[in-house]
Structure 1
Amino acid sequence: MGSSPRDRLFGRAEDEVDPSQAVRREGERGAQTRAALPQARKNPAMTRRERRDRDEALREAERRREAGETSVDYNPNRRRGMVPLVFALVLVLVGGTFAWRTLGLGLPSFQSQGGDYDGAGEDETVEVKINKGDAGSTIGSSLVEAGVTKSTSAFVEAMAANPKVNLTPGTYKLRKKQSAESALTALQDPKNRVGGGIVIQEGLWQSEIFAKLSKGSGRPVSEYEKVTANQLGLPKSMNGKLEGWLFPSTYDFDKSMTAKEQLQAMVKNTKDQLNSLNVRADQLQEVLTKASIVQAESPAGADDGKVARVIENRLDENMPLQMDSSVHYIIHKRGTVTTSNEDRQSDSPYNTYKHKGLPPTPYNSPGAAAIKAAANPTPGPWKYFVTVNQETGETLFSETYDQQLENEKKFREWCQKNPGKC
């Protein structure tokens, strides 16, 4: 039976004919056709669609050859090669986006692109605020809006080139029309922060805290004095005082914040600290009052837990606490660890020499360590303690009064050798 034109041109498909049958030779055209077969058969695992594409391509190649046109080689891998290429492009795009976001830079807006300024900028300055959690694109947009940098994209690129840079939230005074690189450098300089942080140390009295807040924010002390304990949601037993609830830390208050808002932020920090220790609501003020004693009597912090235990043991046995720091609070005297007989005669309810039990309220602002110690005192039998070296903070604890008297001798000896330090 004669072969069809399709048989003469291609031979039969490999799944339709015995591979041992020879392809019919038809002169030069048959030899040229056979030359294409090895290339087409380099990929035997072909789908029907690929075989159909191959057949069409070879048929077109035959047509062009008969017409005297330049032949086009058939390459069955050409279609397959597109898939990895497209997939690679997708990976590049996705990976690039992930990299930008991982750096915390965000993707710049097309509207903000437009080059960069040169140099450190003009003499005119503006204030720019950076909020906690702002991405690089957000900061860049704020800089562009304030006239500091020319485009968000320039600032994002500057941050991408310096991935280890961490910008501190706050308000900064910056020159206008400066390069993105210059702006990034300026934002890392604490000198450019407006006001800087207000440092509230542990153990300060309310009056001392108000003075520091006033100096740091520019608001008069009277504004802080007008804020009541009730406005801050403090217990009625505080009797209008804020002592103990103004958590010591470094604060970077926005200039627009009122005195009340600043104090609310400090009180919130204290409440967060108490909540982290699972202190019951009916014990909040008691724990803070004990913590204020610990803070004043153990400023070095090494013996916080033991001091807290002494407080507990003396309260349990109905002994007066006899803490000099409570008397210092009454007379508002700093710079000494001792008190005089006259000082200890005060009738103030904060005089723990005259009045048993805890003072009516905390009398300073304790830090996290003192609060933790007051909530969880170190187990022990001690009822007395004395710091025998005011420079190193060495403190001796005892269970009996006789032991305490011996330790007090060591304290007096140190004071004699170091006049003016006790």
Structure 2
Amino acid sequence: MRTLTKILFAVFALFVIAAGGLWWWANQPLSLRTSPLDFHVSAGSSLRSAITQMREAGMEVEPNLLALLARAKRADTAIKAGSYAVYEGVTPSQLLDKLLKGKVTQGELTLVEGWTFRQWRARLDKHPDLKHELLGLSEVQIIEKLGLRLASLEGQLFPDTYLFDKQSSDLELLARAQRAMQRKLDAEWTSRSTGLPYKTPSDALIMASIVEKETGRESDRELVAAVFVNRLRKGMLLQTDPTVIYGIGEKFDGNLRKRDLLTDTPYNTYTRPGLPPTPIAMPGQASIRAALNPAPSDVIYFVARGDGSSEFSRTLDEHNRAVNKYQRGGK
């Protein structure tokens, strides 16, 4: 009996020593290759796999001890995937807490209203926190990878500031932007005004992109939309410069010339009636709403005043006087 007691005491003593040693180790700073040290835990990773990923990133952590610490906290299967950053002085206990609570680091990217897909893609390609899967792909290939049935991504992505897990795929960010645009468009379409000259939500999205590019001041947005909606209703040419510029593409040098207005392209609304074949930019929600709820007005012309606002007119004579006043310096 005394022998058994001694054995149990020895086992208990060893347990206490081991527990104390584990507690001591759990509160000692880890060695990091750099500070801060960024690492990524892939989705579906086990703790062992996560430890491997951390070690590969430059963290000297003892796999068996961290696994033992996780088991002691009953947390060995509860780690969260994502991108993390740790700093000099971090302990195994703090590291495990970060993994359990999913305290991930996030990247941020603002995709701007009125930009084209080409401009968006250039920004995506340069972002250091994204995993670049779009490089070398054509727009058609990107659409296929997104599983969409679209002729173009122009206008199909919602402008917003997106937060994302570092080293997320740029393709997934585009997918999020496309889903966001679809949700916004569907919601605005259900609350649209009656009698609009659109056959589908896609028509409204094209109009919204024109409104986006033609609006210089927020307060003018619904009137700008009214001008183009009224022109469609009357069968008039839209005659909007931004569509012509879009049709010129990368060759546009910043100076729109008369010959450009006379050169026919699918996007030249001076030579072709109706809407262009696709949006010409990424419209924001305000422009989508304006295109679907234009101001109740019979204006069909507008001209820039030079201060960001526009002068709206109902007749050609009124418009010519406004052009003479604001663009030719007349009285």
Q: Which TM bucket (shorter chain)? A: 0.5 to 0.7
Equivalent of 1:331 in 226, 234, 248: 248
CA RMSD of aligned residues (A): 4.0
Q: TM-score, normalised by structure 1?
A: 0.52
Structure 2 CA distance for aligned equivalents of residues 250 and 303 of structure 1: 24
Please tell me whether residue 269 in structure 1 is matched to residue 183 in structure 2: no
Please tell me whether residue 403 in structure 1 is matched to residue 318 in structure 2: yes
Contact 1:120–1:179, Cα closer than 8 Å, also in 2: no
Contact 1:198–1:252, Cα closer than 8 Å, also in 2: yes
Contact 1:122–1:175, Cα closer than 8 Å, also in 2: no
Contact 1:244–1:366, Cα closer than 8 Å, also in 2: yes
Contact 2:247–2:266, Cα closer than 8 Å, also in 1: no
**Which residue does 1:310 correspond to in 2?**
227
**Which residue does 1:174 correspond to in 2?**
86
Distance 1:255 1:128, change over 3 A: closer
Equivalent of 1:225 in 136, 139, 152: 139
Structure (1/2) with the larger strand percentage? 2
Distance 1:126 1:232, change over 3 A: closer
Q: TM-score, normalised by structure 2?
A: 0.65
**Which residue does 1:90 correspond to in 2?**
none
The answer for unaligned runs of 5 or more in structure 2 is: 1-21, 44-49, 71-80, 96-103, 193-197
Structure 1 CA distance for aligned equivalents of residues 214 and 283 of structure 2: 11
Q: CA deviation at 1:203?
A: 1.0
Contact 2:146–2:175, Cα closer than 8 Å, also in 1: yes
Please tell me whether residue 356 in structure 1 is matched to residue 273 in structure 2: yes
Distance 1:335 1:246, change over 3 A: farther
Structure 1 CA distance for aligned equivalents of residues 60 and 115 of structure 2: 40
Structure 2 CA distance for aligned equivalents of residues 311 and 174 of structure 1: 54
The amino acid of 2:161's aligned partner reads T
**Which residue does 1:202 correspond to in 2?**
113
Distance 1:272 1:335, change over 3 A: farther
Distance 1:345 1:210, change over 3 A: same
Distance 1:227 1:257, change over 3 A: farther
**Which residue does 2:309 correspond to in 1?**
394
Contact 2:232–2:238, Cα closer than 8 Å, also in 1: yes
Structure 1 CA distance for aligned equivalents of residues 89 and 60 of structure 2: 5
Q: CA deviation at 1:401?
A: 0.8
| Larger of the two Rg values belongs to structure | 1
Contact 1:211–1:221, Cα closer than 8 Å, also in 2: no
Structure 2 CA distance for aligned equivalents of residues 394 and 384 of structure 1: 13
Distance 1:260 1:365, change over 3 A: same
Q: CA deviation at 1:246?
A: 1.5
C-alpha distance after superposition, 1:52-90 (max 9, x if no partner): xxxxxxxxxxxxxxxxxxxxxxxxxxxxxxxxxxxxxxx
C-alpha distance after superposition, 1:81-132 (max 9, x if no partner): xxxxxxxxxxxxxxxxxxxxxxxxxxxxxxx988756799874523267x9x
Share of identical aligned residues, percent? 30
Q: Which aligned pairs between 1:5-84 and structure 2 lie closer than 5 A?
A: none
Please tell me whether residue 215 in structure 1 is matched to residue 130 in structure 2: no
Distance 1:278 1:412, change over 3 A: closer
Q: CA deviation at 1:413?
A: 4.4
SS at match of 1:223: coil
SS at match of 1:365: coil
The amino acid of 1:227's aligned partner reads Q
SS at match of 2:136: helix
Please tell me whether residue 378 in structure 1 is matched to residue 301 in structure 2: no
Structure 2 CA distance for aligned equivalents of residues 295 and 286 of structure 1: 14
Contact 1:228–1:241, Cα closer than 8 Å, also in 2: no
Higher mean displacement: 263-272 or 170-179:
170-179
The answer for unaligned runs of 5 or more in structure 1 is: 1-111, 132-141, 153-168, 184-191, 417-422
**Which residue does 2:5 correspond to in 1?**
none
Structure 2 CA distance for aligned equivalents of residues 335 and 201 of structure 1: 21
SS at match of 2:231: helix
Distance 1:369 1:179, change over 3 A: farther
SS at match of 1:303: helix
Higher mean displacement: 259-268 or 359-368:
259-268
SS at match of 2:327: helix
Please tell me whether residue 252 in structure 1 is matched to residue 163 in structure 2: yes
Distance 1:299 1:269, change over 3 A: farther
Structure 1 CA distance for aligned equivalents of residues 223 and 234 of structure 2: 17
Q: CA deviation at 1:171?
A: 3.6
Contact 1:121–1:179, Cα closer than 8 Å, also in 2: no
Structure 2 CA distance for aligned equivalents of residues 211 and 278 of structure 1: 30
SS at match of 1:288: helix
The amino acid of 1:313's aligned partner reads N
Please tell me whether residue 287 in structure 1 is matched to residue 198 in structure 2: no
Structure 2 CA distance for aligned equivalents of residues 212 and 275 of structure 1: 27
